[in-house]
Amino acid sequence: MSQGEKLEVRSGPAQDANAPWSEVPGLIDAPGGSVNIAYEAVDRHVRHGHGADTALLWFGAEGARRALSFAELAEQTARFANVLRAHGLDRGDSVYALMGRVPELYVTALGTLKAGLVFTPLFSAFGPEPIRTRMEIGGATVLVTTLALYRRKIAPWRDQMASLRLVLILGDEAPDGCVALGPALAAAMPAFEPVPTGPEDPALIHFTSGTTGRPKGAVHVHGAVLYHAFSGCVALDLKPGTIYWCTADPGWVTGTSYGIIAPLVNRAMMIVDEAEFDLQRWYETVQREKVEVWYTAPTAIRMMMRSGQQVAAPYDFSSLRFLASVGEPLNPEAVIWSEAVFGQPFHDNWWQTETGGIMIANRPGMTVRPGSMGTPLPGIAAGIVQRDGDRLHELGDGEVGELALRPGWPSMMRAYLGEQARYDKCFADGWYLSGDLAMRDADGYFWFVGRADDLIKSSGHLIGPFEVESALIEHPAVAEAGVIGVPDETAGEVVKAYVTLNPGYSASEDLERALRGHARPRLGPAVAPREVIFRTTLPKTRSGKIMRRLLKARELGLPEGDISTLETDES
Ligand code: ATP
Ligand code: MG
């Protein structure tokens, strides 16, 4: 602790005074023993004399550039909190954000938390229905959005949502029944004492990516900030002043836990780019802004690989000190490629919306094993388990089973909104069950095998799609691969692969044969794909995950299920 009063955590799992996350230097000195994420992430730094440091450096899609210092962010969020209060909103109310990555999004998130209300970000690209469903599940009282998004996506049904009391519109104009945020902020007082929330008070609701089915609304609490501070520091190497770029949108949990809270609470400087993925722009940003820590997702890394090393060659990447990836398995090929291009590998790490923070990681200073997710963070107990009737038993090294965690870290979800039974199913025998299959090697590194739902059973073999996809990606023609099992009379299931190609290659029977021939010696005849289908895109969620269940539903002519998070597609 640098200065100030240390929080006495009153309840919840963060109570363990010996937990490694309680050791983060300088953290948690809120007056009165409360813990409020916005205070820890913003106001605390101002109070300790760092108000002039840049908190957020924003690049608009059209070329604008705006820097916000911690002091400015403290003031803007105070104004926002005052606007909420002026409208009679208080704890228990929930604020939804529907907008692109603009500075107001960050002000909304932190201002909401400062006022003690619950914040939920939505992807601005969601259609009206996914927005409405999520707002209904959360009983939304406030929505902050743009005029264009309001007209297209909210106005048609707004009158039917009784809970929605206030709609704030970015800018200076608002239609009837809405309030313009610009003038409201200007008129509000620039100071606001953060509401002294307790560690177990709800702070955020995050919807899962919907990769395996209907998204769940995971509830997270203010005490989670301890873990964001800790994991940002030990898993991503965030330090005061670190120039940090997390490319994730806050509509996805990575974009808040590590795209807002972890960097700010560690007093790093975070870069936010409003634009969608554009490789040259990304490389230019890294070079120009001298990005030190870069956190992105496999889908983006595979796009970098697809465009080739020659596109990256002219740029100076010497500022990069740590690269990390999350969201999907990171193919070994991508780790090796990034080492060649950036002078160091992407470090894969694993976690979920539910866990609220990074659980398993290739951390700074560790030897990266390409294809492995790394080892559990200090204080995190992970195991590989198998169900045995009502009980679970732990499997040994080298065995494949369900990846499970011993609950007790502060950023763990506290509920699935309105879905007690679905939540209860995640826990058994003192474990939290992740729904992912994995294996631990003798040195304690964890290896992702696949989601339990995606596992393929073929002639007595259990096949994880990841190993098949990684083998295919090793072939120079293949950019991305999605692998599923399709029913087969003799084998039970056989492996079928969908691939997209790198520039310079085109679909042909010869290439199909070549890909199967490439995979067979690597995987063995039982595991190698029986059939390879060429696609121009694979179906993905807005957080960039391949939706294998959709490939499978289409293959089998079954209903597509919840596709509210579907982004790219070609059926
Ligand atoms: P839903 O739960 O709605 O189906 P989702 O599980 O994709 O969606 P998220 O919480 O965003 O929603 O993603 C967590 C999942 O992403 C993990 O359970 C795992 O399957 C996958 N994942 C995340 N990081 C990694 C990684 N490093 N390696 C392999 N898989 C990963
Ligand atoms: Mg999930």
Per-domain residue ranges for the chain?
A: 41-440, 455-568
Average pLDDT over residues 81-102: 96
Residue to mutate (ligand 1; options 133, 205, 208, 368; most atoms within 8 A of CB): 208
Q: Is the pLDDT of residue 139 over 60?
A: yes
Average pLDDT over residues 465-483: 95
pLDDT above 70: percentage of residues in the chain: 94
* DSSP one-letter code for 293: E
| Residue 240 CB neighbours (<10 A) | 12
* Distance in angstroms (rounded) separating the CA atoms of residues 46 and 222: 20
In angstroms, what is the span from residue 451 Cα to ligand 2's centroid? Answer: 9
Average pLDDT over residues 542-558: 92
pLDDT level of residue 389 (50, 70, 90 thresholds): confident
In angstroms, what is the span from residue 208 Cα to ligand 1's centroid? Answer: 8
Give the pTM: 0.94
The SS3 assignment for 518 reads helix
Amino acid sitting at position 380: I
The SS3 assignment for 525 reads coil
Residue ID of nearest Cα to ligand 1 atom 5:
209
User: What are the phi and psi torsion angles at 250 (to 5°)?
Assistant: -60, -10
Amino acid sitting at position 384: I
pLDDT above 90: percentage of residues in the chain: 85
- Architecture of the structural domain at 41-440: 3-Layer(aba) Sandwich (3.40)
pLDDT level of residue 12 (50, 70, 90 thresholds): very low
| Residue pointed to by tokens 């339990």 | 452
* Distance in angstroms (rounded) separating the CA atoms of residues 484 and 112: 42
Residue ID of nearest Cα to ligand 1 atom 14:
352
| Residue pointed to by tokens 């209903």 | 559
Ligand showing the shortest atom-to-Cα distance for residue 329:
1
* Distance in angstroms (rounded) separating the CA atoms of residues 304 and 28: 39
Pocket of ligand 1, beta carbon within 6 A: 208-213, 215, 253, 326-329, 348-350, 352-353, 373, 434, 436, 448, 451, 543, 545
* DSSP one-letter code for 21: G
pLDDT of residue 5: 27
pLDDT level of residue 8 (50, 70, 90 thresholds): very low
In angstroms, what is the span from residue 211 Cα to ligand 2's centroid? Answer: 7
Q: Which residue(s) pair with 357 in the sheet?
A: none
Are 519 and 468 in contact by the 8 Å Cβ rule? The answer is yes
Strands 360-361 and 65-69: unpaired
Nearest ligand 1 atom to the CA of 360 is: 27
Structure tokens at 548: 């294998």
Q: Is the pLDDT of residue 261 over 80?
A: yes
pLDDT level of residue 16 (50, 70, 90 thresholds): low
| Residue 319 CB neighbours (<10 A) | 15
Does the complex come out with an ipTM higher than 0.90? yes
Nearest ligand 1 atom to the CA of 543 is: 11
Residue ID of nearest Cα to ligand 1 atom 18:
352
DSSP letters along 46-64, please? HHTT-TTSEEEEEE-TTS-
Specify the DSSP element, H or E, that contains 182: helix 181-187
Ligand showing the shortest atom-to-Cα distance for residue 453:
1
Nearest ligand 1 atom to the CA of 349 is: 27
Is 3.30.300.30 the CATH number for 455-568?
yes
pLDDT of residue 39: 95
- How confident is the prediction for the chain on average, in pLDDT? 92
pLDDT digits (tens, 9 = 90+) for 277-336: 999 999 999 999 999 999 999 999 999 999 999 999 999 999 999 999 999 999 999 999
Structure tokens at 276: 């969608």
* Distance in angstroms (rounded) separating the CA atoms of residues 545 and 453: 14
The SS3 assignment for 187 reads helix
Nearby residues of 433 by Cβ (< 8 Å), 6 or more positions away = 385, 392, 402, 404, 426, 427
Domains 41-440 and 455-568 in one fold: no
Percentage helix, strand, coil, to 5, in the chain?
30, 25, 45
pLDDT of residue 31: 57
| Residue pointed to by tokens 């949502």 | 161
Are 91 and 112 in contact by the 8 Å Cβ rule? The answer is no
Q: Which residue(s) pair with 433 in the sheet?
A: 404
Q: Is the pLDDT of residue 203 over 80?
A: yes
* Distance in angstroms (rounded) separating the CA atoms of residues 272 and 343: 24
pLDDT level of residue 210 (50, 70, 90 thresholds): confident
Does 490 or 256 have the greater pLDDT score?
A: 256
* DSSP one-letter code for 3: S
Structure tokens at 328: 């999907």
Taking alpha carbons only, the member of 56, 89, 61 closest to residue 74 is 56
Specify the DSSP element, H or E, that contains 324: strand 322-325
